[in-house]
Chains A and B, each alone.
Chain A
Amino acid sequence: GAGVSQTPSNKVTEKGKYVELRCDPISGHTALYWYRQSLGQGPEFLIYFQGTGAADDSGLPNDRFFAVRPEGSVSTLKIQRTERGDSAVYLCASSSGGGITEAFFGQGTRLTVV
Chain B
Amino acid sequence: AQSVTQPDIHITVSEGASLELRCNYSYGATPYLFWYVQSPGQGLQLLLKYFSGDTLVQGIKGFEAEFKRSQSSFNLRKPSVHWSDAAEYFCAVGASNTGKLIFGQGTTLQVKP
Chains A and B come from one and the same complex: yes
Residues of chain A whose beta carbon lies under 8 Å from any beta carbon of chain B: 3-4, 31, 33, 35, 40-45, 48, 50, 55-56, 91, 93, 95, 97-103, 105-108
The reply to whether A45 and B99 contact each other, CB–CB distance below 8 Å, is no
Interface string of B88-113 (1 = CB under 8 A from A): 00101011111111111110000000
Interface residues on B, range: 20 to 34
Closest 6 pairs between A and B when the two form their complex, measured CB to CB: A42-B103, A105-B44, A105-B43, A107-B43, A100-B32, A43-B103
- Chain A CB within 8 A of B41 CB: yes
CB distance from B66 to the nearest CB of A (A): 19
- Chain A CB within 8 A of B51 CB: yes
The reply to whether A43 and B98 contact each other, CB–CB distance below 8 Å, is no
The reply to whether A4 and B43 contact each other, CB–CB distance below 8 Å, is yes
The reply to whether B97 and A99 contact each other, CB–CB distance below 8 Å, is yes
